[in-house]
Structure 1
């Protein structure tokens, strides 16, 4: 199976995962003007990575900033049917002054997508 087939086969699940990441960001309470980028499947750069354990290929999607220099997110589909995604937010929490939002993550399988924000304590 080639790269374009992997991209097509994973599209429906990937779009659900992207929406879950977007929902996590929005639930934190940021205004629409505060978030410049959201994870969109079609905006990703795709590569196939060989799984060292199974020998199968994992589809990995990377998101980059506007200059295409800094990676701001990743979504990896593993050959065992699981996935892991992370997307950078890197902003102070809009409602909790002592918290900093590093990013959001999602993981699981097609039938069960879990997600959460990655929060850090702000230094005093």
Structure 2
């Protein structure tokens, strides 16, 4: 896949993009997620037979995953679990980022409180 230095830069970009999605909503999750705290395993897609690296953050307040696809694409999701800053009956469940490292796009999952 990629070299450790290149992957570290990629990881920092992914983590910063996840935090930026939260900040767009006027919220903060501090310095989470931390790339060095992700634990990785390889997983082969049964259809394409391509092997991706799947990273997981767990064991702290929030949970998240990142998938590094062989073609350079990324998909990451990280829990936020904070009240929506404007809509009192909603909360921000998670944020996602996807795409290529040089152009990550993202979105938030906002859920109605029950």
TM-score under structure 2 normalisation? 0.82
For structure 2, which runs of at least 5 residues remain unmatched after alignment?
none
Alpha-carbon spacing, 1:37–1:13, altered in 2? closer, same or farther (3 Å): closer
Distance 2:54 2:4 in 1: 9
| 1:52-63 map, 5 Å | 52-63=46-57
How far apart, in 1, do the equivalents of 2:94 and 2:113 lie?
A: 14
Q: CA RMSD in A?
A: 2.4
Contact (CA 8 Å) 1:101, 1:120: kept in 2 or not? yes
**Secondary structure at 1:19's aligned position in 2?**
helix
Q: Which runs of 5 or more residues in structure 1 are unaligned?
A: none
Q: Summarize the alignment of residues 94-109 of structure 1 with structure 2, pairs less than 5 Å apart.
A: 94-109=85-100
1:1-124 paired onto structure 2 within 5 Å: 8-30=5-27, 35=29, 38-66=32-60, 72-123=63-114
Aligned residues: 114
TM-score by length of 1: 0.76
Alpha-carbon spacing, 1:104–1:92, altered in 2? closer, same or farther (3 Å) = same
Quote the Cα distance in structure 2 between the aligned partners of 1:96 and 1:7.
Answer: 42
| 3-state SS, counterpart of residue 113 of structure 1 | strand
